[in-house]
Amino acid sequence: MESIWEKNIQLPTFEPLRRDIRTDVLVIGGGLAGLLCAHELTRAGLRCIVAEAGHICGGTTKNTTAKLTAQHGLVYHKLLKKFGLERTRAYLEANLAALDRIRELCQDIPCDFEEMSNYVYSLNNLKELEQELNALNKLGHPTALVKEIPLPLRTVGAIRFDCQAQFHPLKFAAAIAESLPIFEHTRVLEVKVGQAVTEHGTINANHIVVATHFPFLNKFGAYWLKMYQSRSYVLALENGPDLSGMYVDASGTGLSFRNYGNLLLLGGGGHRTGKPGDGWSGLEDFASHHYRHTRPVACWAAQDCMTLDSAPYIGLYSPRLPRLYVITGFNKWGMTSSMLAATLVSDLILDRDNPYLTAFSPSRSVFHPQLAVNAGESVLHLLTPARPRCPHMGCALKYNPQEHSWDCPCHGSRFADDGALLDGPATGGLVHDHSQHSR
Ligand SMILES: Cc1cc2nc3c(=O)[nH]c(=O)nc-3n(C[C@H](O)[C@H](O)[C@H](O)COP(=O)(O)OP(=O)(O)OC[C@H]3O[C@@H](n4cnc5c(N)ncnc54)[C@H](O)[C@@H]3O)c2cc1C
């Protein structure tokens, strides 16, 4: 289940850490967020290293659909209600600035960057589109409500953002990584003040950034309560129509579309990790009904961290821990958000003012109905007397028949049939002989 991005690129490789070292900044995690953060800090003149548990971009980044947009579903009406005008404007401006910065970097990186309009469509709720349009007008970012889009779906219309983009995420990341000091196969096991412990060496750093997708330090920040993971599926179809745009369903659980060369990437089937889902079957049915002349050439799945209020957590890991930072919670919009996180965290470390910091602060209010849902799921699966159990916090794992994995419904850790760790926040594999456990 390799994504199309992995098929046509060789990422650079790096040696593991085998000694104790000292640096200005340690970035833990070599996905797009960690790499961009290290890139921006290095450019500012700091000594910065990246410690990556496996291969760079081997987590969610290799399985993204790589749309570059500040239009994250119908997020602006929601944020305006929750955050007010100033913070919502900060969200929009920070994402547009991040897109501009990626556009600038892509001028020197051959990564199939293409300017493209982005569309968020609704199947049956015109009111939600109108509310979003109003919100965007209030934010001074007028957009169009279009009635016709070239999808084989009956919609009530779509909101269009012009001058957005799409690219090849691994061609981009490979160029960013090339000049950085990176240690692969170097999992950080423990973080103390100014120090990270790995299996074969200790890294002393003035600042430490945790960019591990789901943060793995449980004692602070309560990320295990403030987030869950949502898994979704992608089919790459040969000979699909050229859609001349990027499209996503407003509901968050519908379909997403973009082209890459002569391929059509059809995404969807999203569900909380560890809960039952249809895998690729809904996408295959859709393709066989509506895109009869296409042929699937690749399929893959991935998951992302979902926050309580649809905005990522970027900033101090916890107000009690100076010089430890976190980048997480991209809500399936981590391409522009990785870039904006790199800028915010660099500015924090370099003590530069940034007007957008408050909007993304990880210590903002947690009062949201989703908090009760996350807490309920944790209690339910902690009390479920089934095996195997997740080494992260002890929840009962569920078998995922589509992907032959054991998935945690609490925080989204995943394990292969042989117990090997596939996705965090767990930091190690299963120790029990789970082959004896019932599926
Ligand atoms: C199906 C799907 C489609 C998507 N499409 C889009 C899209 O079109 N546009 C968009 O903007 N976003 C999209 N996203 C979201 C985006 O892909 C992600 O938000 C982004 O890739 C996350 O990057 P990351 O660097 O935070 O995480 P990752 O890429 O997962 O990187 C984290 C890294 O940390 C490493 N790590 C973990 N623990 C440790 C440790 N203890 N020590 C050292 N290293 C560690 C991991 O090995 C991993 O390499 C999509 C997401 C999904 C699931």
Q: What is the CATH number of the domain that holds 176?
A: 3.50.50.60
Whether the predicted pLDDT of 439 surpasses 90: no
The whole-angstrom separation of Cα 177 and Cα 173 is: 6
Ligand 1 centroid vs 303 CA: distance in angstroms?
A: 8
Ligand 1 centroid vs 89 CA: distance in angstroms?
A: 25
Domain shared by 284 and 250, yes or no: yes
Domain shared by 217 and 232, yes or no: no
Whether the predicted pLDDT of 432 surpasses 80: no
Are the beta carbons of 207 and 196 closer than 8 angstroms?
no
DSSP result, 290-353: H-TT-EEEEEEEEEEEE-SSSS-EEEES-TTSTTEEEEE--TT-HHHHHHHHHHHHHHHHTT--
Domain shared by 215 and 260, yes or no: no
Q: Which residue has the tokens 């196969």?
A: 185
Ligand 1 centroid vs 5 CA: distance in angstroms?
A: 14
Q: Considering its fold, how many domains does the chain have in total?
A: 3
Whether the predicted pLDDT of 57 surpasses 90: yes
Whether the predicted pLDDT of 17 surpasses 80: yes
- pLDDT, tens digit, 9 for 90 and up, residues 141-195: 979 899 999 999 999 999 999 999 999 999 999 999 999 999 999 999 999 989 9
What pLDDT is attached to residue 252? 75
| Local confidence band at 435 (pLDDT 50, 70, 90 cut-offs) | very low
Residue 41 lies in a domain: yes
With residues binned 3-state (H G I as helix, E B as strand, rest as coil), the percentages for the chain, rounded to 5, are: 30, 30, 45
Whether the predicted pLDDT of 359 surpasses 90: yes
Domain shared by 354 and 376, yes or no: no
| Local confidence band at 270 (pLDDT 50, 70, 90 cut-offs) | very high
Mean pLDDT of the chain: 95
Domain shared by 208 and 258, yes or no: no
Domain shared by 314 and 216, yes or no: yes
What pLDDT is attached to residue 433? 53
Write a three-state SS string for 63-97: HCCCEECCCCCCHHHHHHHHHCHHHHHHHHHHHHH
Write a three-state SS string for 256-291: EEEEECCEEEEEEEEEECCCCCCCCHHHHHHHHHHC
Are the beta carbons of 247 and 277 closer than 8 angstroms?
no
Residue 73 lies in a domain: no
What pLDDT is attached to residue 15? 97
Domain shared by 329 and 210, yes or no: yes
Nearest CA to ligand 1 atom 2: 64
Whether the predicted pLDDT of 397 surpasses 70: yes
Q: What is the CATH number of the domain that holds 383?
A: 2.102.10.10
Other C-beta atoms closer than 10 Å to the C-beta of 388 total: 19
Whether the predicted pLDDT of 106 surpasses 90: yes
**Among candidate residues 302, 318, 333, the one where a domain is terminated:** 302
Q: Please, what sign has the CA dihedral across residues 294, 297, 303, 306?
A: negative
Residue 251: domain span = 228-302
**Please, which residues have CB within 8 angstroms of residue 334's CB and are 6 or more apart in sequence?**
32, 33, 60, 61, 64, 304, 312
Residue 259 lies in a domain: yes
Residue type, position 113, single letter: F
Q: Look up the pTM and report it.
A: 0.95
Average pLDDT estimate for 30-55: 98
Residue 161 lies in a domain: no
Domain shared by 415 and 404, yes or no: yes
Residue 154 lies in a domain: no
What pLDDT is attached to residue 412? 96
What pLDDT is attached to residue 429? 93
**Among candidate residues 302, 322, 350, the one where a domain is terminated:** 302
Residue 111 lies in a domain: no
The three-state secondary structure class of 42 is helix
| CA 67 vs CA 163, 194, 428: distances in Å | 12, 36, 31
Ligand 1 centroid vs 78 CA: distance in angstroms?
A: 24
Which candidate, 149, 155, 146, places its Cα nearest to that of 125? 155
Residue 95 lies in a domain: no
Residue 115 lies in a domain: no
Domain shared by 182 and 55, yes or no: yes
Ligand 1 centroid vs 31 CA: distance in angstroms?
A: 6
Q: Which of 39, 212, 227, 231 to mutate to test the pocket of ligand 1 (most atoms within 8 A of CB)?
A: 212
φ, ψ dihedrals at 138, nearest 5°? -60, -35
**Among candidate residues 320, 341, 360, the one where a domain is terminated:** 360
Whether the predicted pLDDT of 79 surpasses 90: yes
Domain shared by 288 and 390, yes or no: no
Average pLDDT estimate for 67-93: 97
Domain shared by 407 and 287, yes or no: no
Which protein residues are within 6 Å of ligand 1, measured from CB? 28-34, 51-54, 57-61, 63-67, 187-188, 211-213, 216, 232, 234, 267, 302-304, 330, 332-336, 338, 424, 427
Domain shared by 266 and 397, yes or no: no
